[in-house]
Every structure is written in C-alpha cells, then in structure tokens.
C-alpha cells in the first residue's frame, strides 16, 4: 500500500503549498492596509512593476491573441459553413475570446514573462543574502518586494485581458473580411450583438484572480529558494509550471461556476 502513503504525502505537500500562498497573500493585504506610512512607497514601486509586467507584455499578448482569433475563426468557419451558418463566426470568436481564451492566454504569457521573473528576482536575492540585508535595514521584504507586485498585477492583468479581447476580435475580423463575406463594420456590429456584459466581466474577474495567483506563486517560489544558482533555476521552473497548472484549474472552477449561475446558458 505504498501508493496510499505516497498519495497522502503528496496531498499534504499540496495543502501546505496552498497554505504558503495564502499566507503570503494575507501578509501582503495586512501590510497594504495597516501600514499607511509605507503605502506611498509601495505604490511607487507598483508603478515600476506595472510598467515591466504589464506594458512590456502588450506586444506579445497582442500578437498571440490576434493570431488565436484568426485560428478560431478559421476552425469555426470550417464547421459552420457545412451547415450554412457562416454568420455565426463572429459570435463564436467573440464569446470564445472574451470568456476564456483572452484571459487565459494573457495569463500564460504573463507567467512566462513576469511570474518567472518574480521567482528569479527574489530567489537570487535569497541566494545572495540580499533579503537578510533588507531586514537589517528595517525593510520588510514582503512590503518592499511582494506588495508592489500584487498591486501591479491586480491592475495590469485585467487591463491586458481587455486589450487581448480586442486583439482577438480583430483577428477574427481579419478572416471575416477576407474570407467570411463580412465588411469590417458588419463584423463588429455582429460581435457587439453577440456579447453580453457578463461575458466581458467574467473574463475580467478571472484575470484579476490569475494575477494574484501568478504573483503569489512566483514570490513564494522565490522566498523558498535553496542555496546555489541551480536552486534559482529550479524555483523559476517551478513557478512557471505551478502557475500554469493553478491558472487552468482556477479557470475551470470559474467557468463551471459561471455556467451554473447562468443556468447552463
């Protein structure tokens, strides 16, 4: 029955890991709301983090979601034209992008750019004892490093998701105009008619949670980095893998909840 013991040990480690993520998130909230004197400094650092994590991700997020919009339109048209429903291509692209693929692809792009960078930055500071130096200077590492990242990601990831939604729709419009018999104006009107406010807001809510998860995982992996350069690489890799897994799992949970709340519609 060794597999039972292994399963129990893995479950225990998973629960402890989630507890570690919750702890770092709770400490960040506490420092943000209970340390008014340090809040200005946190916001200043958050602006710097937002430029690096958010603005810097716009080009790759734009290209990725634009191409995904074209792909969805092509694949959807292949099936829809068989039943004479090419007019539904715009609806398919709009709903798939805003509800699911826009926030999800944006989160994965940000994980590769920023989640890994968070783990590498804090992990390197752990190895070189810079975290101990911060504490010696009476600077709380969580307040100095983590809270600004939470603030930046909480703002920038929803903004990136909205931008990704637009780029995905424009990608679908490229196919719609070139091969779907639409004019650009007609495609955008069809997209507007297909979307409901809840389609967009559900994606924004998901992206907000994704941003918090990405930050928590990246920072947690950085703080738990062992000694040596090899451990920094391990932490960076773990941050990417675990973030992607958690983001997809959370996306599944939210999608199921939204589906049930809509009564299956």
Count Cβ atoms below 10 Å from residue 120 Cβ, excluding itself.
19
pTM equals 0.89
Q: How confident is the model at residue 41 (pLDDT cuts 50, 70, 90)?
A: confident
Instruction: Label each residue of 198-252 as H, E or C.
Output: HHHHHHHHHHHHHHHHHHHHHHHHHHCCCCCHHHHHHHHHHHHHHHHHHHHHHHH
Task: Measure the CA dihedral 80/99/248/76, to 10°.
Answer: 10
Is residue 181 pLDDT above 90, yes or no? no
Q: What's the CA gap between 223 and 142, in Å, rounded?
A: 10
The mean pLDDT value for 149-173 works out to 93
Report the distance separating Cα 97 and Cα 239, nearest Å. 26
Choose between 166 and 183: higher pLDDT: 166
Mean pLDDT, all residues of the chain: 87
Whether the CB-CB separation of 144 and 43 falls below 8 Å is answered with no
CA distance 47 to 161: 18
pLDDT at 170 over 90: yes
Q: How confident is the model at residue 42 (pLDDT cuts 50, 70, 90)?
A: confident
CA 101 from centre of chain: 11
């Amino acid at each position: 029955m060794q597999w039972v013991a292994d399963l129990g040990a893995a479950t225990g480690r998973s629960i402890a890991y989630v507890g570690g993520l919750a702890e770092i998130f709770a400490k960040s909230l506490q420092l943000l709301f209970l340390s008014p004197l340090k809040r200005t400094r946190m916001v200043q650092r958050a602006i710097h983090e937002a430029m690096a994590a958010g603005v810097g991700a716009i080009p790759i997020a734009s290209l990725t979601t634009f191409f995904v919009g074209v792909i969805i339109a092509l694949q959807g048209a292949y099936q829809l034209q068989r039943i004479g429903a090419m007019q539904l291509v715009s609806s398919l692209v709009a709903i798939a992008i805003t509800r699911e693929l826009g926030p999800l692809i944006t989160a994965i792009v940000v994980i590769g750019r920023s989640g890994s960078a968070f783990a590498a930055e804090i992990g390197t500071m752990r190895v070189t004892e810079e975290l101990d130096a911060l504490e010696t200077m009476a600077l709380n590492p969580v307040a100095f490093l983590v809270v600004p990242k939470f603030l930046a990601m909480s703002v920038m990831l929803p903004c990136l998701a909205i931008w990704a939604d637009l780029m995905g729709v424009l990608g679908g419009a490229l196919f719609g105009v070139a091969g779907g018999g639409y004019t650009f104006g007609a495609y955008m009107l069809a997209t507007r008619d297909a979307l409901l406010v809840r389609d967009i807001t559900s994606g924004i809510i998901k992206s907000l949670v994704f941003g918090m998860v990405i930050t928590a995982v990246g920072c947690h992996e950085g703080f738990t980095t062992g000694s040596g350069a090899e451990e920094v690489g391990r932490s960076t890799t773990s941050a990417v893998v675990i973030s992607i897994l958690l983001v997809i799992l959370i996306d599944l949970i939210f999608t199921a909840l939204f589906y049930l709340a809509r009564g299956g519609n």
